[in-house]
Amino acid sequence: MPRLLVVHYSPTPTVQALADAVLEGARTAEDEGVEILVRHALEATTDDVLAADGFILGTTANFGYISGALKHFFDTTYDATHETTTRKPFSYWIHGAFDTTGAERAMTSITTGYGLRLATPPLAFTGPPNAEHLEAARELGGTVAWSLAM
């Protein structure tokens, strides 16, 4: 059974709504046999990564970078997993209040280290999510999850 691992840090209602929309989209692939495992960024483990066929990562922008929580996930799983993640599909979302540039740069360079393959363009924006953002989040979740069903 293909497994999608969603690792995210969503500390406010605004970003939790974004995470919920991504998961809503991803869950449309469950009927196709895709299993979805959702982990808080501080709780995801090396075994979670080793068992996953695809990934969705979500974070806030913090201090011009990704959140410390998602950074912790990367710091604690990279060594044991990066040789197994090459070419596996993924995408991500980043939410900020004013500028997500540094977080996007970090995400690109870290996921390149894991050898991951973007299955669909990431979603990165600032300010309150509107209906289009939430729809894009659902679509992102659905696209990565359905890529595992095929």
Ligand X SMILES: Cc1cc2nc3c(=O)[nH]c(=O)nc-3n(C[C@H](O)[C@H](O)[C@H](O)COP(=O)(O)O)c2cc1C
By beta-carbon proximity to ligand X, the closer residue of 96 and 122 is: 96
Residue 101: CB partners within 8 Å, gap ≥ 6?
64
By beta-carbon proximity to ligand X, the closer residue of 23 and 106 is: 106
Listing DSSP states for 119-149 in one string gives SS--EEEESS--HHHHHHHHHHHHHHHHHHH
Residue of closest CB approach to ligand X: 96
User: Per rule CB under 6 A, is residue 21 in the interface with ligand X?
Assistant: no
Residue 45: CB partners within 8 Å, gap ≥ 6?
39, 76, 77
User: Per rule CB under 6 A, is residue 80 in the interface with ligand X?
Assistant: no
What b-and-e string marks burial along 36-56, b requiring 16 or more CB atoms within 10 Å of the CB?
bebbebeebeeebbeebbbbb
**Contact of 146 with 61, CB cutoff 8 Å:** no
User: Per rule CB under 6 A, is residue 62 in the interface with ligand X?
Assistant: yes
User: Per rule CB under 6 A, is residue 97 in the interface with ligand X?
Assistant: yes
Name the E strands within 1-150: 3-8, 35-40, 54-62, 65-66, 89-96, 117-118, 123-126
By beta-carbon proximity to ligand X, the closer residue of 46 and 126 is: 126
Selected from 1, 98, 131, 132, the binder of ligand X by CB under 6 A is 98
By beta-carbon proximity to ligand X, the closer residue of 12 and 84 is: 12
Pairing of the two strands 65-66 and 35-40: unpaired
Q: How far is the CB of 98 from ligand X (least distance, A)?
A: 4
By beta-carbon proximity to ligand X, the closer residue of 86 and 126 is: 126
User: Per rule CB under 6 A, is residue 99 in the interface with ligand X?
Assistant: yes
Selected from 5, 6, 7, 15, the binder of ligand X by CB under 6 A is 15
User: Using CB under 6 A as the criterion, which residues of the chain lie in contact with ligand X when the complex forms?
Assistant: 12, 14-15, 60-64, 95-100, 126
